[in-house]
Structures are given as C-alpha cells and as structure tokens.
Structure 1
Amino acid sequence: MEADAIIIGAGACGLMCAVQAGYLGKKVILLERNHKPGAKILISGGGRCNYTNQWATPEQFISANPHFVKSAFTQWTVDDTINFFETYGIIGKEKTLGQLFPESKNATAVVEIFTSLCAEMGQEIRCNADAKEIAIIEDGFKVTYHVGDKAKTIAAPKLIVTSGGLPIPKMGATDFALKFARQHHLNIIETAPALVPLTITGKDEAWYSELSGNTIFCEVSTDEISFEENILFTHWGLSGPAILQISSYWRRGSIINIDLLPNQQILAHIETERSSNGKTLLSTLLNRFYAKKFTEALGKFLPLTKTVADLSKIDLELINNTIHFFKVKPAGDKGYDKAEVMRGGIDTNEISSKTMECKKIPGLYFGGECVDVTGWLGGYNFQWAWASGFVIAQGI
C-alpha cells in the first residue's frame, strides 16, 4: 500500500480532497490523465475562475434528491471556501449575481494553491496517468493505469473517484466514473449536457442566424423556473447566461418562454406614448428598448410601420404576446463539447450524504461532477466540488 487513499482525477474536488486529507495527516496519491492538474479550473470564468458563489444554497442545485447536498454544505460552507482562499492570498471580488472571482489573480493562481500545498504535504500528483481498471481486493483497491503505453498499478485501502463528467472531451473528460459505477451495479441518473447553448433548426433558423452577435436582457423560463440575464443570438440558435441556466432544466421537445422586456409592460409604454404623441411609429418606440437590428427583426411578427394611435386591439394583443411571451422550441443543444457541466450522474441514493462513501462498496467514495448534483452557472459547481472534496477527506 503506497498511500492511505488513491484519488482518480485531479480536478477541483480531487485537489481539495488531497489538501484536506493532508491537513489530517493522511497520504494520498492523485492520478490525473491530463498533463497537468486542474484543467477545468484553468478555463473557468474565461481563465479568471469564478471559484464560488456567495448565494450558494441547496436550492441552486439540480438532483433527483435535492436534499442530498445539505450535509456537505453544512460541513463546508461558502464562508469556508472564502476563508480557505483568503488564507492563501486570493481575495474574492463579486462580479455579478454573487459570483466571486480572484480580485487580482487568476485561475492559474487557484490551481497553484493546491499544487503547492500538495507538494508541501507530500501528496503526490501523477499526471499523464490514465486510470483503466479498478479491482476490489481484500484490503482495499488496486488501480491499473497507463502512462503512455506502459501499464502500472497502485493499491490503497481507500479509493476516491473524482474524475468528473462528460463535458469538454478535448480536455480529458471521460465516462470512467460512470462505467465503473455501472460495472458494480450502481444506479445512474440519466446524463445530459447542462449549462449548454441551445440550437434552432427549421423554418426559424435563418431568423436567429441573422441576429447572431446580438444580446438582450430577458427573463427566460420553463414551467418550473425562470432566470433574468442576457441571451445571445448565434448562427445556430441561442446562448448567453440565461440560456445556459435554463438549459439545465430544458428537456428535448419542450418550449421555453422568453420575456423580451422583463419587469416592464410594453402595453403601458404604448398607452403612455399614445397620450403624448400618437404619431410615434411602433418601430420608434421599440428602438428605445432594443438595438435597431433587433427591432427590425421583430418586423417578422409585428406591425412596425403603424403608429401607436393606429394599433388595433388585435395588434396590441400580438405585441404583448410577442414581447412578453416569445416562444422558443429548441431542436437540441450543442452537446458535451460546449457544455460546462453534466446533468445526472451516479445516483445519490448509492452514496452517504454525510461522508460521500458508496453504501454498497465500503472504502469507495465519489465526489464532484460524476455525482447527480448539478449547480447553476456562476461558481455553484465549484462550491459543490470543494464541499464534497472536504467531506470525503474527513472519512478516508
């Protein structure tokens, strides 16, 4: 036995677990298939790393068991995350909606905290180490991994799988955790890309494509939830923060509602304009709220050349429905290549919420993205990674 535990995956969860285990005097070895640790940390937030969210609570997480995260978030809070990074020189600055970014540093500095601490505490990170097989042995676990074309093995009493989910395959994402779980008859909640742009095809495709590059502040909603943030029109459909958020709740074949003028009433604006200047064109009025190009695009649906005084009751109903109840039926999403996280994963009923240990296989732990816990956009998934990594370290 070379260590107290083996960690497969040196991402956010695995790195936090290694450091926290080190604080407790436990020796771990991390196996990372990429040439350096923290690959997704390094690209997060455009390379600046939105490492947590001040508003994070269990309510911003999607899971078949929404109560599962409560224990981990009690054991490791947002304040714990903030204090941890402040201890090592990263001061958080809120950008928008509770997202914390390093005030004067970047994602590289976040990863360097963990690699430096691992080095100080003797926690070994073996990069270019691609885990292939896990054998359950009498006194623990034996992992076979490849370095280039050479096969190697390592054994330890405890095994922690934090190898992430399926998004961004070019950065080393694999289904290793899911395949291993299935081999041992652990239930998997159906997986899908989440926090992902949505595509539009068919007769409306050209309309969206012509608006590519335009952003609009909207309220985007399904029957169960809504988000107020920007949407971005693209050549293939819709993106932007509001769309990424709603994508985690969207299901193929369902409709998304977009309020193009949230917290205002277009009919009230029309009525006010009628009383002051009834000769104002509808297009002129709409240009006060939108870029000219978007107003012109709305001409596909609305009588832009009419004056506000000439708008009929039917016109007003059409305007209200178009502006406040704009319906979109996406054809699909941009897949794991463009998704920030994976929805679904290893069923939380297979795992202890207090320790993250697998109920059926003692000594085996799962954490981070491979578990059926998916956070909103904006630092929430990092908070889950840090919390689950901390919790695992306490039990190994």
Structure 2
Amino acid sequence: MKRYPQEKFDAIIIGGGACGLMCAVQAGLRGKRTLVLERNDRPGAKILISGGGRCNYTNLHSAPANFVSANPDFARAAFSRWTVEDTVTFFERHGIIGREKVLGQLFPVSNRAKDVVLVFTKLMRQYGQELYLHSRAVSVDRLPKGGFGVLYEQEGAERYAVADAVVMASGGLPVAKLGASDFALRIARSYGLEVVPTAPALVPLTITGKDAAWFAALSGNTVFSRVYNERINFEENILFTHWGLSGPAILQISSYWRPGETITIDLLPRHSVAELIRQEREAGGRRLVSQLLHEFFSRKLVEALGGLLPLTVKVASLGKADAKRIAEGIHRFTVKPAGDKGYDKAEVMRGGVATHELDPQTLEARKVPGLYFGGECVDMTGWLGGYNFQWAWSSGYVIAQAI
C-alpha cells in the first residue's frame, strides 16, 4: 500500500465556495485549524460570477418558505443561529455595505463580487487557515482510531491529509466549467446516506416542436408577467429566447416544474384585459385591439399574439366570445416546456443529501459522526435572489461551531 505524507487538521473542508469559506473563517475564529481543498485555481468561483459579477450575497426576506426541499423547515435551525442580520453585519464589519435592489436582494455597493471573496481570503490568512488550490478530493475514509483520511490530487501528485472532521461543501452539479462535481453526493451514498434525486434548478426552459418558431421569433423580448402552476406563482420578467423561455420568473418556476407539466403565464398581471376593453368601448372603441395592447407590449409581441388571437378588430366590433378569448389568451397563456437547458445553464441543483440524514443544529451526518454536509449539496434549494447564499453562509457557520 502506498504511503502518503500526512498533514493533520481539526477539519478538512472540501470545496472553497460560499459554504466552505464561511466555515473555514468561523472555525478559525474559534481557534480551529482547517484545510480547504479547492479544485479550481481560485476560491469562490460561483461567488465571482453570481449576479453578473456583482454578487447578490443575501436576501433580506430569507426564510424556509423560500426553499425547495422535501423538508424546507429543516433550514429554520441554521437560519436562527446565523440570521440575515448576522450576514449583513459580518460583511459590513469587513467593509462591504449592502444595497437593496429589488425583492430584498442585497448587493455590495461596489457591485464587485471579488470584494466578497476577498473578505474570506483575508480572514483565512489572518486565522492561519490553509487553502489548497488545484486540489481535487478523491476519497474520504474513516480511520480505525477515529477521524478521517482524505486523499486528494494536487497538480498531478497524490497527497493525503487527516482530520477529526470532514466538511462536504463541494456544491452540486452546475456548472461544469467551474468545477461542478457530484463528489459530495457520492461520498454521502458511500456512507449509506439517502440522496434526494437531483435536477437542474433556476434554469431556462426549452420549447420544441410546432411552437418553437413562434418563441424563437420573439427572442430578446421581455415582459413583466405572473408565471404559475399548481404549486406556486412568481411575478417578475420573462425573457423569450431562440430556444424557449428564460428570465427571473421562468428561472423561479423551473424549480417547481417537472417534465411533462405545463406552466401558465399571465402576460398582463397588473391589468384586466376585460376592463381595458370595456374602457376602450366607453371611449368609442375606434382603436384596434392590437393598438390597445401596444401600450403594454412590444410591437413584436403584439404581432406574435396576433397570430393566435383576433387582434386586428376594432374594439367596438369585438364580440363577447372573441373578447373572452383574448383575455384568456393573455392572462392564461399556457406553455408546455420540452425540457430545460441543463446543469451548465442552471444556477443551482435541486435535491441532494436528504435532510433527515443530518442533525439540523450541526449538519452532521447522524450515521457518520464527524462528517458534515453544507451548502448546495444538501436538499435545500433557494429561490433566485440571494437565498442560496444565505443558506451557504448559515450552514457554513453552524458546521464551524460543531467541528
């Protein structure tokens, strides 16, 4: 059997993303010595690209209700121990002042995601924590006398480290070019932990078949809409693309959509088409329905809707049946996506290590003392808008208090 030079730490953290970095810093604050293994050439790869490089680092309204999970309430314990207020205070203390954009989304006033990463790299140096880049974990094994041994590859060489605890903070399956990996899920399964089936989430949806050309012709058009299904609804912009639908409202609903299902879009959620028609009639009804809709939609969208609905009729001449058909078509525009754009276009992964396998107070695996799971690899998927970062910070913190 090969023998590797051994390094000893209090904890080995696999993954230098939001959860792993927060865990290392908070553990360092407690006097613990940790090693963070990061397979990329720099830490915080997903932090750096989030929010278009501006980093929406939390949401002021974060709560279990904003998460998709077999048990969303599982997050309550972590959120009570590291709150949104704790996140805001932590970053303010280290020079990052937040500015709320919309819907509780908080961004650094500098609009630079790299400033967020810099907070952690500075603190890790200050607390003497180790960060190994270009380092890919290969295996996590329990040692006969307690603790764990982690085999990892670093720039072509195999190395070995041991620790009392191991923290799986290696994220999920999006995005391959950023080092996405199912390593945490494989480790969980190898220790007999249940993994909730995974799928891309916060992801654009595709349209194929006879409707594909209609959507492609509208590529680049955005419209504020209410998108809903039997489970939930969201009011934000949708974006037509040459392959289907994207935009915030679509990304949100994608986490609640399953293949084969339909979604419904209210293209004019703040108005009633029936009421607009009634008002136009009272004013004489001389305009075409299409002219009425130009006040709310782009020319291209009105033309496209005109291929589906009787819009080239004067409002005064519009019959009851056609008026109802137009209102239904705009307020209940039904779409059956063919699929989604996959992990490389997804913001996050749905599913992951089942929450019932973990202690909610510490995120330690109940069956494997000393083994912890945090961040995206856990079955806790937040909405778009900073919720997933809040889960990462909170889960990293509570793990650090336990290791």
In the aligned structure 1, how far is the partner of 2:72 from the partner of 2:50?
Answer: 25
Percent same amino acid among aligned pairs? 60
Shift of 1:67: 1.2
2:15 corresponds to 1:9? yes
2:28 corresponds to 1:22? yes
Partners of 1:90 and 1:105 within 8 A in 2 = no
2:310 partner letter: P
1:14-44 Cα shifts (integer Å, max 9, x gaps): 0000000011111101000111110000000
Shift of 1:182: 1.1
2:226 corresponds to 1:219? yes
**Match of 2:305?**
298
2:365 corresponds to 1:379? no
Shift of 1:154: 0.4
Shift of 1:216: 0.2
1:43-101 Cα shifts (integer Å, max 9, x gaps): 00000100000111111011101210000000000000000000000000011111000
**Match of 1:393?**
400
2:69 corresponds to 1:69? no
Summarize the alignment of residues 69-88 of structure 1 with structure 2, pairs less than 5 Å apart: 69-88=75-94
In the aligned structure 2, how far is the partner of 1:48 from the partner of 1:313?
Answer: 50
1:287 partner letter: H
In the aligned structure 1, how far is the partner of 2:148 from the partner of 2:290?
Answer: 68
In the aligned structure 2, how far is the partner of 1:388 from the partner of 1:296?
Answer: 49
**Match of 1:287?**
294
One of 79, 86, 104 as aligned partner of 1:98:
104
Counterpart secondary structure, 2:73: coil
1:153-206 Cα shifts (integer Å, max 9, x gaps): 000011101000000111100100011111111101010000000000000000
**Match of 1:113?**
119
Shift of 1:145: 0.4
In the aligned structure 1, how far is the partner of 2:12 from the partner of 2:104?
Answer: 34
**Match of 1:276?**
283
1:104-135 Cα shifts (integer Å, max 9, x gaps): 25110100100000001100000000001111
Shift of 1:373: 0.1
Partners of 1:88 and 1:113 within 8 A in 2 = yes
2:263 corresponds to 1:260? no
2:22 partner letter: M
User: What TM-score does the superposition give when structure 1 sets the normalisation length?
Assistant: 0.99
**Match of 2:152?**
145
Shift of 1:277: 2.0
Partners of 2:358 and 2:365 within 8 A in 1 = yes
In the aligned structure 1, how far is the partner of 2:110 from the partner of 2:139?
Answer: 42
**Match of 1:56?**
62
Summarize the alignment of residues 322-341 of structure 1 with structure 2, pairs less than 5 Å apart: 322-341=329-348
Of 133-142 and 84-93, the range deviating more from structure 2: 133-142
Counterpart secondary structure, 1:227: strand
Counterpart secondary structure, 1:345: strand
Partners of 2:169 and 2:375 within 8 A in 1 = yes
In the aligned structure 1, how far is the partner of 2:278 from the partner of 2:324?
Answer: 13
Shift of 1:3: 1.1
> Which segments of structure 1 move beyond 2 Å, counting only runs of 4 or more?
none
2:289 corresponds to 1:312? no
Counterpart secondary structure, 1:67: helix
**Match of 2:48?**
42
1:207-255 Cα shifts (integer Å, max 9, x gaps): 0000000000000001111000000000000000000000000000001
Partners of 2:193 and 2:354 within 8 A in 1 = yes
2:137 corresponds to 1:131? yes
Root-mean-square deviation (CA, aligned residues, Å) is 0.7
User: What TM-score does the superposition give when structure 2 sets the normalisation length?
Assistant: 0.97
Partners of 1:221 and 1:257 within 8 A in 2 = yes
Counterpart secondary structure, 1:212: coil
One of 205, 211, 232 as aligned partner of 1:204:
211
Counterpart secondary structure, 1:327: strand
In the aligned structure 2, how far is the partner of 1:332 from the partner of 1:321?
Answer: 25
Counterpart secondary structure, 1:322: helix
